[in-house]
Structure 1
């Protein structure tokens, strides 16, 4: 079939919205008609070149990462089912999990679906089953799809391992948000940080991930939730809507505030959710963490980032923990439905996350608004 998509032909260029050809699903695959797609910062990392496959790895996989259809945060309806699909049928509503879960690899078997072995092929951009493409340019060029999803298009073909079935009563535009941002941020606080009632928590960077870390920490019962961001309206929104008790414009301001609130004991947990993770942020973040406390790195760093400023004596002697986090360390098949249940009960805020909606043709405007700090989450509606 013919459809349209936002394509990144190479890093450091704009998204190009073009007509494309989409094949029917093959074995183990389904075709999905999207209702909406979130504009997540991870796609911006491909634009900037921070999330680009090493040429040697690309050569080993015998593929080209670009051109690629963007988007990995979406929800829609299954409109066609390929051979051998057993868990879905036409008419089902699904959220696409940007990390697929096979249910059989060692990680899935241990309850760690967020590091399923299928995640190894996320940046390859091809179908999980046979590493070929279902999306093609009008000239016949194979197109990759971001995180094996490609939600910057009204239709896509994905493996059933990527699809999480949800109740058909849930609004699909809001359900799309739990495909990445909500689950990642909420899980960063609840799963990775392990926030407990009465704790002091600092969230650094209040965008689509950080705002959900704020509401996750608040929902977990934190006594103090300090939202750190240079943009004033985001700090205000964090306090008035998402559960932050305090806010600060910088890490330095937050450190002074945390010291005052805790009588010098510092924060039990600190979560880094900036647009880009850089090594110089780790030391100041861990400096706010109490003895026996935990720092969580959820923000995405450039793939080749290796230098980190961190006092190792302080890390060891105060028994601090520095941990990584992907997809909120969640189990998408369990956590996506339960987060949507919390939304249905009015306990999880999704509507309030969407600052601006866009058409597919406005995708570049949406990302410029993100860079300019105008959105918590921008969303494409189809």
Structure 2
């Protein structure tokens, strides 16, 4: 079939919205008519080159990252299923989890679906079933899909392992947010940081991930939730999601936390800035109490290796510095779980969407994100 998509032909360029050809699903695959796609910062990392593999490594792995259809935060209706699909049928409503979960690999078997072995395909852009493409340009060029999903198109073909069935009365545009940003942020607080009632938590960066880390920390019962961002209206908005205090910088937050805890410092700190840089780690760890934990959720440039960190302080005060992907969540459990909380009025999703855009306006949406105008922009089809 013919549809349209926003394609990134190479790093450093704008998204190009153009007609494409979409194949029918093959064995184990599903065609989905999408209702919406979030404009997540991870797609921006492809534009800036932060998530672009070194050419020598890509050649060694026989990967061709570009051209790629962006988008990995979507939800929609199943319109066609391929042979062998057993868990879904036409008409089902699904959220696309940006990390496929096979349910069979060692990580999935241990309850760590966010580390599923199929995650090795996230930057490859091909179908996990046979490593070929279902999306093609009008000239016949194979197109990759971001994180095995490619939600910057009203129709896409994905593997069954990417789809999580949801209740059909839930609004699909809001459900799309749980495919990445909500689950990643909420899980960074609840799962990765393991926030406990009465704790003091600092969240650094208030985009789509950070606001949900604030929300997760508040829902977990934190006594203090300090929301840090340079943008004033985002700091003010964070109160809607449960922040108790705000700061414009890490330095300001550190002084505030020291005073409110009588010098004990924060139990947990979560880094959710647009880009993670090594110079942020030391100051973040300086805010963390003895035996406390700092979580790095923000994406760093793929080749970055330098980190500012006092190793003596790390060991002697038994602090923990941990990584987090997809909020260390299990998509098949946590996506329906979060949507039930939304359905019961306990999880805020409507308040996250600052602006909506047509597919043709995808570049404007990302410029608004760069300019600090959005918590989460969304493409609606």
TM-score, normalisation: structure 1: 0.99
**Partner secondary structure for residue 122 of structure 2:** helix
Instruction: Confirm or deny that 1:337 pairs with 2:336.
Output: yes
Distance across 1 between alignment mates of 2:212 and 2:361: 25
Moved over 6 A (4+): none
Distance across 1 between alignment mates of 2:168 and 2:327: 25
Could you tell me which residue of structure 2 aligns to residue 108 of structure 1? 108
Question: Unaligned 5+ residue runs, structure 2?
Answer: none
Distance across 2 between alignment mates of 1:32 and 1:122: 19
Displacement of 1:55 in angstroms is: 1.9
Superposition pairs of residues 34-45 of structure 1, within 5 angstroms: 34-45=34-45
Superposition pairs of residues 259-338 of structure 1, within 5 angstroms: 259-338=258-337
Instruction: Confirm or deny that 1:359 pairs with 2:355.
Output: no
Displacement of 1:64 in angstroms is: 1.2
Displacement of 1:53 in angstroms is: 1.8
Distance across 1 between alignment mates of 2:164 and 2:59: 32
Distance across 1 between alignment mates of 2:174 and 2:336: 13
Could you tell me which residue of structure 1 aligns to residue 243 of structure 2? 244
Could you tell me which residue of structure 2 aligns to residue 233 of structure 1? 233
Distance across 1 between alignment mates of 2:333 and 2:63: 33
Point out the more displaced range, 214-223 or 53-62: 53-62
Instruction: Confirm or deny that 1:21 pairs with 2:46.
Output: no
Could you tell me which residue of structure 1 aligns to residue 345 of structure 2? 346
Q: Tell me how many residue pairs correspond in the alignment.
A: 381
Distance across 1 between alignment mates of 2:57 and 2:5: 26
1:190-231 Cα offsets, whole Å, 9 max, x none, are 000000000000000000000000000000000000000000
**Partner secondary structure for residue 123 of structure 1:** coil
Could you tell me which residue of structure 1 aligns to residue 371 of structure 2? 372
Could you tell me which residue of structure 1 aligns to residue 63 of structure 2? 63
**Partner secondary structure for residue 62 of structure 1:** coil
Distance across 2 between alignment mates of 1:207 and 1:27: 38
1:355-378 Cα offsets, whole Å, 9 max, x none, are 000000000000000000000000
Distance across 2 between alignment mates of 1:381 and 1:61: 35
1:87-119 Cα offsets, whole Å, 9 max, x none, are 000000000000000000000000000000000
Over the residues paired in the alignment, what is the CA RMSD in angstroms?
Answer: 0.5
Superposition pairs of residues 126-165 of structure 1, within 5 angstroms: 126-165=126-165
1:209-256 Cα offsets, whole Å, 9 max, x none, are 0000000000000000000000000000001x1000000000000000
Superposition pairs of residues 52-91 of structure 1, within 5 angstroms: 52-91=52-91
Question: Unaligned 5+ residue runs, structure 1?
Answer: none
Displacement of 1:148 in angstroms is: 0.6
Distance across 2 between alignment mates of 1:100 and 1:274: 25
Instruction: Confirm or deny that 1:176 pairs with 2:176.
Output: yes
Distance across 2 between alignment mates of 1:118 and 1:58: 18
Distance across 2 between alignment mates of 1:229 and 1:62: 40
TM-score, normalisation: structure 2: 1.00
Displacement of 1:60 in angstroms is: 2.9
Displacement of 1:59 in angstroms is: 1.7
